[in-house]
């Protein structure tokens, strides 16, 4: 696999989310901290990254 200018590398790390589960998956906490509660699925993140290209 060749990389170079204009290329994007995506790394996905597995994480149990135990330390922040009460915040990142809580729509109320997200809204209170000016973070819109959006769809956090991997598919939606990939779609969003593709739309930025």
Which pLDDT tens digit goes with each residue over 14-39? 787 788 777 777 888 888 888 777 76
Burial label for 11, CB within 10 Å (0-12, 13-18, 19+), is exposed
Mean pLDDT value across the chain: 77
5 or 3: which leads in pLDDT: 5
- Comparing 27 with 3, the larger pLDDT belongs to 27
Q: Whole-model pTM? A: 0.38
């Amino acid at each position: 696999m060749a990389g170079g200018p204009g290329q994007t590398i995506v790394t996905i790390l597995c994480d149990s989310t135990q330390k922040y589960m009460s915040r990142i998956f809580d729509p109320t906490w997200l809204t209170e901290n000016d973070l819109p509660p959006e769809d956090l699925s991997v598919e939606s993140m990939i779609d969003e990254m593709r739309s930025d290209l």
